[in-house]
Amino acid sequence: MIPNVFPRKRRQLDDVPAALVVMFRLGVQPFLISWMRLDPAEEARSIKASLLIVWGRHDLQIAEADYQALVSARPDAETRWPRAQALG
């Protein structure tokens, strides 16, 4: 979804879709764009402390391939796959 909001040029947009304005308002866009330059696996590899990687099969933000990339980058990390619980 984020690549659709911020084009490849990684520039701020004035015409953010109404449904996304809360998350992608102009004041937040520079911060989000700066984070898109980072490679999470490379960042995980650079951490010298213990690392816990948590991922769930129904995770809406992190794909399983991204989780696996983090685990590959830090095979010594502790990992958790929490089971989804019904809300309500």
Confidence band (pLDDT; 50, 70, 90) for 88?
very low
Global pTM value: 0.62
Model confidence at 72: pLDDT above 80: yes
Report the distance separating Cα 29 and Cα 9, nearest Å: 13
Which of 9-13, 26-30, 41-45, 83-87 is modeled with the greatest confidence?
Answer: 41-45
52's tokens: 């816990």
Contacts of 5 (CB under 8 A, 6+ apart): 13, 16, 17, 20, 24
Report the distance separating Cα 51 and Cα 10, nearest Å: 30
Model confidence at 85: pLDDT above 60: no
How many percent of the chain have pLDDT more than 90?
A: 33
